[in-house]
Amino acid sequence: MEAELWVEKYRPRKLDEIVNQEAVVERLRFFVKSGNIPHMIFSGPAGCGKTTAALCVVRELFGEDWARNHIELNASDERGINTIRGKVKDFARTKSMGGLYKIVILDEADALTAEAQQALRRMMEKYSSTCRFILICNYSSKIIEPIQSRCVVLRFRLLSKEDVKGFLRKIAERENLEVEDRALDAIFSITGGDMRKAVTLLQACAGERVTEKRVYTISGSPEPEKVGKMVDLALSGHFPEAREVLTELMFRDGVPGQDIAREILSAFHSREVPAEAVERLGECEFRISQGADPRIQIEALLAFLAARCRGAG
């Protein structure tokens, strides 16, 4: 039996299968039905369906000939002007097989250099009779204005918890996988609405019953309850006990310090903490990112919380 990545196995093949994004799908369905699409920019957070939507448009426009009538490039890997003048130009200048035009999909287009974007602008004008461009990016503001003015900008929104959980439940059902609802909550919390990451994490947890604890163990992410306990101990003035929980998180569970710092912020959101604590947390995470020892930085933060508690008492 051939092994297959679930991200590709369960990637939508039709526009109607795309999760959420109703407004975008409605527009794309209209373009496909008319048979003539404009140049487009797909903008939005990672894992919300931008590349999938572009491929769905190609499939529905060209049917069985879809593979021969499009090219997909990742601009972050090939971000220079030579790529635009070479690969893109060679593809765009030839006529489509069985269609009105070909389609160039440029993923992570906001990584293109300014010089490459200027070359792309000229190419979009020159080969508009034989080619259409779909630029995919996280931030449309990083695409130069002359390109934006030549494109229809479609903005994809972040997927909600129910969107992600619903899609994961369908996968679990097809794979005969037993998954706890709290495990799905944990997957969403860890991946932040990125469907690609969520499906990959679910596949990583497969093989036995998927529980909340298994999700956190496989992903190497800190358990919110444990981090919350550590913060509560510090806020109660029990620094040694809070430090013990930190040691357990870092050395028994193997959680990176930066991930613990991010989860501390989530714990702060549900607790009354002084404004200075958030500022200290920001300094802590910055120093960790610059190479400082994570244990020392987080311990210093816990010591500050404990000292503030004692001072208030």
Give the model confidence (pLDDT) of 19-58 as tens digits: 889 999 999 999 999 888 899 999 999 999 999 999 999 9
Tally of CA atoms within 13 A in the half-sphere of 179 that contains its CB: 28
The single-letter DSSP state of residue 215 is: H
Here the CATH number for the domain that contains residue 150 is 3.40.50.300
Residue 137's pLDDT is what?
93
Rounded (to 5) percent helix, strand, coil in the chain: 60, 10, 30
Here the CATH number for the domain that contains residue 192 is 1.10.8.60
162's CB contacts (< 8 A; 6+ apart) are: none
Within a domain: 205: yes
Q: 40 with 141, same domain? A: yes
DSSP lists the bridge partners of residue 155 as 43
141's CB contacts (< 8 A; 6+ apart) are: none
Q: Residue 211 is encoded by which pair of tokens?
A: 């529980």
Give the model confidence (pLDDT) of 274-309 as tens digits: 889 999 999 999 999 999 999 999 999 999 999 876
pTM of the model: 0.83
- Give the Cα separation of 16 and 92 in Å (integer): 28
Within a domain: 101: yes
State which of 155, 170, 202 marks the end of a domain: 155
Q: What SS3 class is residue 273?
A: coil
Within a domain: 144: yes
Q: Which helix (H) or strand (E) holds 264?
A: helix 257-269
- Give the Cα separation of 297 and 7 in Å (integer): 37
Q: What SS3 class is residue 14?
A: coil
Residue 133's pLDDT is what?
93
Residue 1's pLDDT is what?
41
Q: 17 with 113, same domain? A: yes
Q: 150 with 187, same domain? A: no
Within a domain: 140: yes
Question: What is the extent of the structural domain holding 209?
Answer: 161-219
State which of 174, 194, 219 marks the end of a domain: 219
User: pLDDT below 50 — which residues of the chain?
Assistant: 1, 313
